[in-house]
């Protein structure tokens, strides 16, 4: 479907939800969770998930941001059934609906200039009075200016929220808000209602920072005579200090977490649990999320973003995803870690999978795994202090003789290598840890690595012997 969609006829029972980001930045984790909850709700009910780009803010909206949002959605695996629709291409629809409100006496033109409104606001603030618009253009007959919605001045508007329950708003506390600027561009509350009604949205699932907008939107629905969707306002995501999640708490964008080496499955799994639960279960397949998801299980209190918990979830997925899949995910991180395309291309079949299998038990991110795997692709460029000490602790003749035995070993597999090392240590009256650490230092340049004999098997006889030879210069005669 294209952007010309205006009013659709949909079966009453069909669930239709939308994610409607503004293209003024990247996709943040809060927005991603909102999108995820909408996507899961649609998939659970066999409904439609619609993507709408709310780009009427011409000064702040950019194509770059729109592209980044779509890229983030695709990376997270949230496919949409319709869209992405662009509000900028639907201006005629907003103009038509605005005129309908004027014709019905539900809206009026306001000629108050922004500087006048600001002066009145300051005066009201100084006098301790309400800051809402004073309505001086309410009964005028202007035919130009900004368009304001004529709110009922008495009574109560109740939001029957699917998460928070009934929330009441006193109409006298609300003011006649602007729905269309003097330049003809619609304001969020107005455009969102027109679009949601036109697209047949049955459930509006969004952050509870929008809850204060909802009574105004309900009145707009009523003014048009459109049926109300069901509203569900999801509590915000807070940082560990219980302040609203922001850059000072660390990364907040989906793109940043991808660049930090998090798997999309891990981020999705973590986000779904930020406010929703299914018993004590922590790890979910996508199929399980779809099967179990319901708004009744979304909590009413803010969720706390815990970077360490996200690391734990990511580590789980690194351990459990197929190595063949992780090879594809690792490639850009290997390049970033300084491994050349030539070095990657020279790898024999299954070799990169073996590297991943050796590292995945300890890795928390793909970045970490890439940085700690460089010694598989090239000889160590140097030895850290602990590695030097481990080498110095072994006499050169021991390392020479060990190299000779490795040269003649018929089965260069981890079990055979371990058996050879155990016998060698026993014959020389050495501790196995002494020669193992010295070998580890020679092969990797450090003393922290996956199991030594697994590394040796992956590297192969030729690389192991060459690196043992290179390390001899660090051993005291």
Query: Which of 6, 43, 30 is CA-nearest to residue 270?
Result: 30
Cβ-contact 87, 51 below 8 angstroms: no
pLDDT at 130: 72
Please give the model's pTM, rounded to 2 decimal places: 0.90
In the chain, where are the structural domains located? 321-377, 385-474
Q: What is the DSSP string of 69-136?
A: HHHHHHHHT---SEEEEEGGGGHHHHHHHHHHHHHTTSEEEE---HHHHHHHHHHHHHTT---S---T
pLDDT at 8: 46
Low-confidence winner among 10-19, 87-96, 134-143, 235-244 (lowest mean pLDDT):
10-19
On whether the 385-474 domain is CATH 1.10.10.350, my answer is yes
The H-assigned helical ranges of 380-477 are 385-392, 396-408, 414-428, 432-444, 452-459, 461-471
pLDDT digits (tens, 9 = 90+) for 216-236: 999 999 999 999 999 999 999
pLDDT surpassing 70 at residue 49: yes
Cβ-contact 303, 275 below 8 angstroms: yes
Task: Report d(CA 94, CA 78) in Å as an integer.
Answer: 29
Percent of the chain residues past pLDDT 70, beyond the cut: 96
**90-100: average pLDDT:** 96
The answer to whether residue 106 is catalytic is no
Q: Is residue 376 within a helix (H) or strand (E), and if so which, with residue range?
A: helix 374-377
Contacts of 359 (CB under 8 A, 6+ apart): 369, 372, 373, 450
Catalytic residue among 247, 297, 300, 431: 247
Task: Report d(CA 293, CA 36) in Å as an integer.
Answer: 11
Mean pLDDT of all residues belonging to the chain:
91
Residue indicated by tokens 């964008």: 253
Categorize the per-residue pLDDT at 477 as very low, low, confident or very high, splitting at 50, 70 and 90. Answer: low
pLDDT at 10: 47
pLDDT digits (tens, 9 = 90+) for 150-194: 999 899 999 999 999 999 999 999 999 999 999 999 999 999 999
């Amino acid at each position: 479907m294209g952007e010309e969609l205006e009013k659709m006829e949909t079966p009453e029972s069909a669930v239709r939800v939308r994610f409607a980001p503004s293209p003024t930045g990247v996709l943040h984790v809060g927005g991603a969770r909102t999108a995820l909850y909408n996507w899961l709700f649609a998939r659970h009910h066999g409904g439609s998930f619609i993507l709408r780009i709310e780009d009427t803010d011409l000064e702040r909206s950019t194509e770059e941001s729109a592209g980044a949002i779509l890229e983030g959605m695709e990376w997270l695996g949230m496919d949409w059934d319709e869209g992405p629709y662009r509000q900028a291409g639907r201006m005629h629809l907003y103009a038509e609906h605005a005129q309908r409100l004027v014709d019905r006496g539900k809206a009026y033109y306001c000629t108050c200039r922004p500087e006048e409104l600001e002066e009145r606001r300051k005066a009201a603030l100084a006098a301790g009075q309400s800051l809402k618009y004073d309505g001086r253009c309410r009964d005028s007959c202007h035919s130009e200016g900004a368009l304001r919605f004529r709110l009922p001045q008495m009574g109560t508007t109740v939001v029957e929220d699917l998460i928070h329950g009934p929330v009441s708003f006193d109409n006298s506390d609300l003011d006649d808000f602007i729905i269309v600027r003097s330049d003809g561009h619609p304001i969020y509350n107005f455009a969102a209602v027109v679009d949601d009604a036109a697209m047949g949205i049955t459930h509006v699932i969004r952050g509870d920072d929008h809850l204060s907008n909802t009574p105004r939107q309900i009145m707009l629905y009523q003014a048009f005579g459109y049926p109300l969707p069901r509203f569900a306002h999801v509590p915000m995501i807070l940082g560990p200090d219980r302040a609203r999640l922001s850059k000072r708490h660390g990364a907040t964008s989906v793109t940043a977490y991808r660049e930090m080496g998090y798997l999309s499955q891990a981020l999705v799994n973590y986000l779904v649990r930020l406010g929703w639960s299914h018993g004590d279960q922590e790890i979910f397949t996508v199929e399980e999320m779809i099967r179990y998801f319901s708004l009744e299980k979304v909590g009413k209190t803010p969720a706390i973003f815990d970077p360490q918990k996200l690391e734990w979830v990511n580590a789980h997925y690194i351990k459990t995803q197929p190595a063949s899949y992780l090879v594809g995910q690792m490639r850009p991180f290997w390049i970033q870690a300084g491994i050349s395309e030539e070095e990657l291309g020279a790898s024999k079949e299954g070799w990169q999978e073996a590297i991943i299998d050796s590292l995945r038990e300890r890795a928390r991110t793909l970045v970490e795994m890439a940085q700690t795997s460089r010694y598989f692709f090239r000889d160590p460029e140097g030895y850290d202090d602990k590695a030097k000490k481990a080498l110095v602790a072994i006499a050169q003749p021991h390392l020479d003789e060990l190299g000779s035995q490795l040269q003649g070993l018929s089965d260069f597999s981890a079990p055979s290598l371990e058996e050879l090392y155990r016998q060698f240590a026993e014959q020389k009256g050495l501790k196995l840890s002494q020669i193992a650490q010295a070998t580890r230092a020679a092969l990797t340049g450090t003393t922290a690595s996956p199991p030594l004999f697994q590394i040796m098997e992956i590297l192969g006889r030729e690389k192991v012997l060459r690196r043992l030879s290179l390390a001899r210069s660090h051993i005291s005669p």
